[in-house]
C-alpha cells in the first residue's frame, strides 16, 4: 500500500491501524475529516485519533470497513455474514 493511499486510525490505548483510505471513507465522519477544505490536522498527517474507542472495537470497525467495500460489489451470500462474536 502506498503511503498516500493509507490513513492511520489510533485507538484509546495507542494502537495504530494503517488501512486504505478508501476503507476509512466508508465512515462519513472520517470522510469529512479527511476531505474537508478546512484545516483539520488530520488532513495534513493522515492520522485520526479516537481517544474514546478501545482497540478491540477499533479493530472490528476496520474489519467492517473492508467487509462493506466488498459488499458494495457483491451480495452478502457471496462474501459471507459479518461476524460479531465474543
Partner 1 sequence: MGGACSRKRDQPVNEDNLNRGVCGRYTKSGSSKWLGTSISRAPMDASQGNRSCPSLMDLCIYKIREDISNHSTFSMLPRDISQQIFDDLVCSQRLNGSILEAFRDCALQDLNLGEYPGFNDSWMDVVSSQGSSLLSVDLSASDVTDRGLIYLEDCKNLQALNFNYCDQISDNGLPRISGLSNLTTLSFKRNNLITAQGLSSLSGLINLVNLDLEICPKIHGGLIHLKGLTMLESLNVNCCNCINDADMKAISGLASLKKLQIASSKVTDNGVAFLRDLKKLSLLNMEGCPVTAACLESLTALDALLYLNLGRCNLTDDGCEKFSKLQSLKVLNLGFNEISSAILVHLKDLTNLESLNLDSGRINDEGMVHLAGLFRLKCLELSDTEVGSSGLRHLSGLLNLESLNLSFTVVTDGGLRKLSGLSSLKSLNLDARQITDAGLAALTNLTGLTHLDLFGARITDSGTNYLRSFKNLRSLEICGGGLTDVGVKNIKDLTSLTLLNLSQNSHLTDKSLESISGLTQLVSLNMSNSRVTSAGLQHLKSLKKLKSLTLESCKVTANDIRKLQSTDLPNLVSFRPE
Give me the residues that bind partner 1 (CB under 8 A), please.
27, 29, 61, 64, 68, 71-72, 75-77, 81-82, 84
- In whole angstroms, the minimum distance from the beta carbon of 22 to partner 1 comes to 14
Contacting residues for 76 by C-beta, under 8 A, at least 6 apart: none
Give whichever of 2 and 81 is closer to partner 1, judged by the CB atom: 81
Residue nearer to partner 1 on the CB measure, 6 or 50: 50
Whether the Cβ atoms of residue 19 and residue 65 lie closer than 8 Å to each other: yes
Backbone angles phi, psi at 2, to 5 degrees: -75, 150
Amino acid at each position: 500500500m502506498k503511503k498516500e493511499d493509507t490513513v492511520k486510525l489510533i485507538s484509546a490505548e495507542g494502537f495504530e491501524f494503517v488501512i486504505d483510505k478508501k476503507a476509512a471513507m466508508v465512515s462519513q465522519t472520517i470522510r469529512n475529516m479527511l476531505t474537508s477544505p478546512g484545516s483539520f490536522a488530520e488532513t495534513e498527517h493522515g492520522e485520526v485519533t479516537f481517544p474514546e474507542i478501545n482497540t478491540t472495537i477499533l479493530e472490528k470497525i476496520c474489519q467492517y470497513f473492508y467487509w462493506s467495500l466488498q459488499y458494495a460489489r457483491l451480495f452478502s451470500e457471496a462474501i459471507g455474514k459479518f461476524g460479531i462474536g465474543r
